[in-house]
Structure 1
Amino acid sequence: MKRAYGLGTRSVAVLLLSVSLAGCGLPRSGPSKSEILAGSVEKLGTTYIVPVDARVARAASKSPELGFSADFVTADVVGSDVIHPGDTLSLVIWENVDDGLLASKGVNATELQELQVDDAGFIFVPYAGRIRASGNTPETLRQAITDKLKEQTPDPQVLVSRAAGDGATVSVLGNTGAQGVFPIERPTRTLSSMLARAGGIAVDPETAQITVTRRGRTGSVWLKDLYRNPRMDIALRGGDVILVEKDTRTFTALGATGGQTRVDFDSPNMTAIEAIAKVGGLNTNLADPKGVFIMRDETPEIASAVLGQAGLRETQRVAYVLDLTQPDGIFNARDFIIRDGDTIYVTEAPYVQWQKTLSVLTGTASSANAITNAAGG
Structure 2
Amino acid sequence: MSVSYGAKVMALSLLCASMAGCGLPRSGPNKAEIYRGSVLKQGDAFVVQVNSRVTRATAVTPSYGFSNGFLNAGVIGSDQIAAGDKLSLTVYENVKDDPLLGNSGQRLSQLNELQVDGKGEIFIPYAGRIKASGKSPEELRNEIAGKLDSQTPDPQVIVQRIAGDGSTVSIAGEANAQGIYAIERPTRTLSTMLARAGGVKIDPGQAIIRVTRNGQTGKVWLQDLYQNPALDIALRPGDQIVVEKDSRAFTALGATGAQNRVPFETQTLSAIEAIAIVGGLNTNLADPTGVFVFRNEPSEVANAVLGRNDLVGAQRMVYVLDLTQPTGMFEARDFLVRDGDTVYVTEAPYVQWQKAIGAITGTTAAATSLTGQ
TM > 0.5: yes
Q: Distance between the aligned counterparts of 2:323 and 2:106, measured in 1? A: 87
Which stretch shifts more, 18-27 or 48-57?
A: 18-27
Which one of the candidate residues 46, 49, 54 is aligned to 1:48? 46
CA gap of 1:344–1:83, structure 2 versus 1, over 3 A, is: same
Alignment partner of 1:256 is 2:255? yes
Q: Distance between the aligned counterparts of 1:134 and 1:373, measured in 2? A: 100
Q: Distance between the aligned counterparts of 2:304 and 2:315, measured in 1? A: 12
CA gap of 1:62–1:183, structure 2 versus 1, over 3 A, is: same
CA gap of 1:8–1:185, structure 2 versus 1, over 3 A, is: same
Matched AA of 1:191: L
Write the mapping of 1:97-136 to structure 2, written as runs, cut at 5 A.
97=95, 100-104=99-103, 108-136=107-135
Over residues 314-354 of structure 1, what are the superposed CA-to-partner deviations in whole Å (9 max), with x where a residue is unaligned? 11111111111111111111111111111111111010000
Residue 20 (structure 1) shift: 5.9
Identify unmatched segments of 5+ residues in structure 2.
Answer: none
Matched AA of 2:258: G
Over residues 131-177 of structure 1, what are the superposed CA-to-partner deviations in whole Å (9 max), with x where a residue is unaligned? 232332211111111223344445433222233355x3222111112
Q: Distance between the aligned counterparts of 2:130 and 2:372, measured in 1? A: 113
Matched AA of 1:336: F
Contact 2:172 2:241 in 1 (8 A): yes
Which stretch shifts more, 207-216 or 157-166?
A: 157-166
Q: Distance between the aligned counterparts of 1:39 and 1:287, measured in 2? A: 21
Secondary structure of residue in 1 paired with 2:6: helix
Secondary structure of residue in 2 paired with 1:266: coil
Which stretch shifts more, 281-290 or 263-272?
A: 263-272
Q: Distance between the aligned counterparts of 1:178 and 1:92, measured in 2? A: 37
Match of 2:35 in 1: 37
Which one of the candidate residues 70, 73, 76 is aligned to 1:72? 70
Matched AA of 2:312: R
Match of 2:164 in 1: 164
Which stretch shifts more, 305-314 or 330-339?
A: 305-314
Q: Distance between the aligned counterparts of 1:293 and 1:89, measured in 2? A: 66
Contact 2:254 2:347 in 1 (8 A): yes
Alignment partner of 1:235 is 2:223? no
Which stretch shifts more, 251-260 or 128-137?
A: 128-137
Alignment partner of 1:18 is 2:16? yes
Write the mapping of 1:220-369 to structure 2, written as runs, cut at 5 A.
220-369=219-368
Q: Distance between the aligned counterparts of 2:14 and 2:324, measured in 1? A: 36
Q: Distance between the aligned counterparts of 1:107 and 1:295, measured in 2? A: 84
Contact 1:23 1:357 in 2 (8 A): no
Contact 2:8 2:370 in 1 (8 A): no
Residue 21 (structure 1) shift: 3.7
Over residues 112-131 of structure 1, what are the superposed CA-to-partner deviations in whole Å (9 max), with x where a residue is unaligned? 23323345543221122232
Q: Distance between the aligned counterparts of 1:364 and 1:191, measured in 2? A: 70
Residue 98 (structure 1) shift: 5.2
Q: Distance between the aligned counterparts of 1:373 and 1:187, measured in 2? A: 89
Contact 1:19 1:357 in 2 (8 A): no
Query: Between Structure 1 and Structure 2, how many residues are aligned?
Result: 371
Q: Distance between the aligned counterparts of 1:219 and 1:23, measured in 2? A: 57
**What TM-score does the superposition give when structure 1 sets the normalisation length?**
0.90
Q: Distance between the aligned counterparts of 1:300 and 1:367, measured in 2? A: 56
